């Protein structure tokens, strides 16, 4: 397996050198493993590096080849995390600069596998292109994943506070913004209300952590 990975990697580097590409991709392919389909999102990380001496404008395009109907996919680049409805965008990189090109997978509590590609090309030279392959493999049997369907937060959307219903053994409630930063933490208790009136308007992720320090569910909250 390691030998195969090394051959693939060096073949990729050689192809870049001979084609005189103005950018490189790392890694050359991405594999995402889902351990728990109740997770709100799972992320695969990749980078695009400007290896030329001039600024370049490249385009990425998301192509979902195969996936469960319930799944959503979104790309985060150097500018922002795009919504699943956005399938392409352009990025400008100065010499030596790097842009992340992360794929966010939202399984929506549905087991399965997926095959996704991100096509990357130089806008000024479309022949200079690369296809980043991303495979998503389920790591557990469909019958063994945790079903948190009874857990919910309300009101959602909210302006001042929210509560959690459907679970009693929570230890902590964590509020995370869409770039992964923790903005609030609460000690959890039954029938508590968690204040978010001081947060800016937007979308947040609410991580529900049980007394075993495991995330039992992540739910998207709209703050108005």
In tens, the pLDDT along 179-206 reads 788 899 999 988 899 999 999 999 999 9
- How do beta strands 170-176 and 56-66 pair? unpaired
pLDDT, mean over the chain = 83
- Residue 149 pLDDT exceeds 90: no
| Mean per-residue pLDDT, 16-21 | 49
User: CA-to-CA distance for 35 and 141, rounded, in angstroms?
Assistant: 10
Prior bond of 157 cis (ω within 30°)? yes
User: CA-to-CA distance for 125 and 145, rounded, in angstroms?
Assistant: 46
CA separation, residue 36 to residues 126, 175, 218 (Å) = 39, 20, 11
- pTM for this model (two decimals): 0.55
Cβ atoms of residues 118 and 61 within 8 Å:
yes
Domains of the chain, each with CATH number or no CATH: 24-138 (2.60.40.10), 152-223 (2.60.40)
Highest mean pLDDT among 2-6, 28-32, 50-54, 98-102: 98-102
Cβ atoms of residues 150 and 168 within 8 Å:
no
Query: Which two structure tokens, joined as six digits, stand for 122?
Result: 């130089």
């Amino acid at each position: 397996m390691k030998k195969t990975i090394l051959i693939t990697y060096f073949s990729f580097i050689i192809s870049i050198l001979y084609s005189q590409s103005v950018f490189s991709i790392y890694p050359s392919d991405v594999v995402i493993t889902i351990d728990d389909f109740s997770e709100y999102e799972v992320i695969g990380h990749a980078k695009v590096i400007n290896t030329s001496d001039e600024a370049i404008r490249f385009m990425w395009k998301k192509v979902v080849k195969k996936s469960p109907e319930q799944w959503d996919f979104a790309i985060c680049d150097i500018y922002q995390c795009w919504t699943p409805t956005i399938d392409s965008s352009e990025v400008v990189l100065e010499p030596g600069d790097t842009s992340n090109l992360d794929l966010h997978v939202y399984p929506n509590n549905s087991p399965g596998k997926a095959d996704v590609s991100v096509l990357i090309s130089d806008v000024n030279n479309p022949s200079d292109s690369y296809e980043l392959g991303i495979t998503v493999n389920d790591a557990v049997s469909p019958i063994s994943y945790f079903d948190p369907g009874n857990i919910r937060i309300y009101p959602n959307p909210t302006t001042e506070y929210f509560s959690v219903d459907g679970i009693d053994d929570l230890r902590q409630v964590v509020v995370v913004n869409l770039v992964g930063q923790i903005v609030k933490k609460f000690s959890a208790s039954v029938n508590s209300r968690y204040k978010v009136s001081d947060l800016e308007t937007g979308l947040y992720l609410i991580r529900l952590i049980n007394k075993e320090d495991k995330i039992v569910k992540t739910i998207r909250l709209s703050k108005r």
